[in-house]
Chains A and B, each alone.
Chain A
Amino acid sequence: MRKMPLMITCEQADHFIDDYLAGDLSGSQCRIFQWHINLCTECSQYLEEYKQSIQLGKAHFYEQAEADRSDMPEGIVQAILAARSEGADPGFDVFRSSPPFRGLKLANLRKIYSKGEMLEIDKGMLVIEEGKENSNLYVVLSGEFKISLPRGSERDSEVELASRRPPDCLGEYTFIDHKLASANVRATRVSTLFTISFHVLDELIESDAELSRAIYRNILLLVIDRLRANDAEIALFKRC
């Protein structure tokens, strides 16, 4: 198209299309866009077909699928009805929203949940001890835990690092590095934990690459979040 003075190019007009269709252009932007469309046959046709494509997508995306299948397999109906009673288990809801397991497929969540155990923890009980081996991943289903570095030869007093509440997890560092625990984890009140041994979890994820990727990615994201939070805290101290 031959471009007239002060007229936007086709490429510039292309950037405006969606805002134009959504009615988000200002009055002057809209006039500039329409001026181009009125004078440019290629863009005018392009816009028309662009709109038609959107309409066609809306109109036909589902229609064929509905014709494809007319009834729900009985097995799925029964699975959903059975899941209703599981859905009433508040522990499962907390478990599935815990960082390592977030966004996993329902079938995988069920598999992992069924391989774990529930632990009732008394106030003051030590779940993970600094310098000792830990072989379980935990999810806090209720209550609260304090993470601290205990008083000892290297410290005059206990250093509190963080607290963990539902749906936080515990033991994720040792799950990855298999080293001895780097801090104490103690219940500050009566609490409930979901626990699964590293060995069992490893077995489950080793046979499923997609599940393995999802869990390791989740743990990585969790660690990144904590690093970012620490960075922000350090930055705050530097300003003081």
Chain B
Amino acid sequence: MDRKSYPDGASEPVEQILVAGLRNGDAGSFEQLVRQYGARMLNVANRIVRNDADAQDCVQEAFLKVLKNIDQFEGRASVGSWLHRIVANTALMQLRSQGRKKEESFDELLPKFDSDGCRVTVYLSTPGPSVQESFQSLEAQAIVRQAIDQLHESYRAVLIARDIEGFDTNETAGILGLAPGAVKTRLHRARAALKTLLEPAIRTGGI
């Protein structure tokens, strides 16, 4: 679900009424917002934090942030896109607040170079027979999701923030409490690891 897939709502009369209601503190408008977008936002939070209770916390917090900051909503994007960004931001912050766990090495997923600095191509064993077959879309999605979820949490968080949510380096650094340099390093390693994990499926035309 790309943020771009939300309707161009802000320009739509229905959404303008919704936003006006929120600005006026109308309880009915808030309930409409929650019912209209709640499930999608719960999906977004769940994908990031991967825990029902934490995801519910994030969504609840995000809706309250919307209420508090509705005057800053400029209407350039739809309410859905705006809400998505707030939920993603809140969920990523949640990952950060879970504390720093000891990271295991995932060097086996990173590119290898010989003593002359030349790339050494290492093929991972092809995971299962299913990737050899022609994929239905849902299977391709599952492979990608599993690959991203295999990344260590702090790398996964950077990848989600930068590549999936489109936060820039400084925004990501602020959300995750990292130095911008660390965001760049982790993004490179996360992308390289993801590439390694997806490589068998890409090469066999599974995706």
B-binding segment of A81-89, A123-131, A197-205, A232-240: A81-89
Q: Known contacts A61-B47, A62-B1; decide if A70 and B39 are in contact (CB<8 Å).
A: yes
Q: Bin chain B's interface residue count.
A: 35 or more
Which residue of chain A lies nearest to B144 when distances are taken between CB atoms in the complex? A60
A50-84 at interface with B (beta carbon < 8 Å): 50, 52-54, 56-72, 76-77, 79-81, 83-84
Chain A positions within 8 Å of B10 at CB level: none
B107-147 at interface with A (beta carbon < 8 Å): 111, 113, 116-119, 121, 137-138, 140-142, 144-145
Nearest CB of chain B from residue A226's CB, rounded to whole Å: 19
Nearest CB of chain A from residue B86's CB, rounded to whole Å: 13
B-binding segment of A10-18, A132-140, A175-183: A10-18
Chain A positions within 8 Å of B57 at CB level: 105-107
A91-116 at interface with B (beta carbon < 8 Å): 103-107
Q: Are A52 and B43 in contact (CB under 8 A)?
A: no
Is B20 part of the binding interface, using a Cβ–Cβ cutoff of 8 Å?
A: no
Is A214 part of the binding interface, using a Cβ–Cβ cutoff of 8 Å?
A: yes
Is B44 part of the binding interface, using a Cβ–Cβ cutoff of 8 Å?
A: yes
Describe A's contact surface by its main secondary structure. Answer: helix
B118: which of A1, A62, A63, A68 is its contact (CB, 8 Å)?
A1
Q: Are B34 and A81 in contact (CB under 8 A)?
A: yes
Q: Are A3 and B116 in contact (CB under 8 A)?
A: yes
Q: Mark A20-48, 1 if CB is under 8 A from B, else 0.
A: 00000000000000000000101100100
Q: Bin chain A's interface residue count.
A: 35 or more
Q: Are B164 and A58 in contact (CB under 8 A)?
A: yes
Nearest CB of chain B from residue A175's CB, rounded to whole Å: 20
Which residue of chain A lies nearest to B99 when distances are taken between CB atoms in the complex? A213
Q: Are A76 and B38 in contact (CB under 8 A)?
A: yes
Number of A-B residue pairs with CB-CB distance less than 8 Å in the complex they form:
166
Is A148 part of the binding interface, using a Cβ–Cβ cutoff of 8 Å?
A: no
Chain A positions within 8 Å of B27 at CB level: 81, 84
Q: Mark B39-69, 1 if CB is under 8 A from A, else 0.
A: 1101110110000011011011101100110
Chain B positions within 8 Å of A62 at CB level: 1-2, 43-44, 47, 164
Q: Are A59 and B119 in contact (CB under 8 A)?
A: no
Is B207 part of the binding interface, using a Cβ–Cβ cutoff of 8 Å?
A: yes
Describe B's contact surface by its main secondary structure. Answer: helix
B31: which of A71, A81, A106 is its contact (CB, 8 Å)?
A81
Q: Known contacts A53-B202, A214-B99; decide if A80 and B60 are in contact (CB<8 Å).
A: yes
Q: Known contacts A62-B2, A79-B60; decide if A87 and B117 are in contact (CB<8 Å).
A: no
Nearest CB of chain B from residue A234's CB, rounded to whole Å: 26
Q: How far is the CA of A77 from the CA of B59 in the complex (A)?
A: 10
Chain A positions within 8 Å of B34 at CB level: 72, 77, 80-81
Q: How far is the CA of A14 from the CA of B121 in the complex (A)?
A: 13
Chain B positions within 8 Å of A14 at CB level: 111, 113, 119
Chain B positions within 8 Å of A71 at CB level: 39
Q: Are A63 and B1 in contact (CB under 8 A)?
A: yes
B145: which of A58, A61, A213 is its contact (CB, 8 Å)?
A61
Q: How far is the CA of A56 from the CA of B57 in the complex (A)?
A: 29
Is B12 part of the binding interface, using a Cβ–Cβ cutoff of 8 Å?
A: no
B151-181 at interface with A (beta carbon < 8 Å): 159-160, 163-164
Q: Are A12 and B191 in contact (CB under 8 A)?
A: no
Footprint of A on B, CB under 8 Å? 1-2, 27, 30-31, 34-35, 38-40, 42-44, 46-47, 53-54, 56-57, 59-61, 63-64, 67-68, 93-94, 96-99, 111, 113, 116-119, 121, 137-138, 140-142, 144-145, 148, 159-160, 163-164, 184, 187-188, 191-192, 194-195, 198-199, 202-203, 207
Q: 6 closest Cβ contacts across the A-B interface?
A: A9-B117, A62-B1, A72-B38, A10-B119, A103-B97, A11-B117
Name 8 interchain pairs, CB-CB below 8 A, sorted by A.
A62-B43, A63-B1, A63-B137, A76-B38, A80-B63, A103-B93, A104-B97, A107-B53
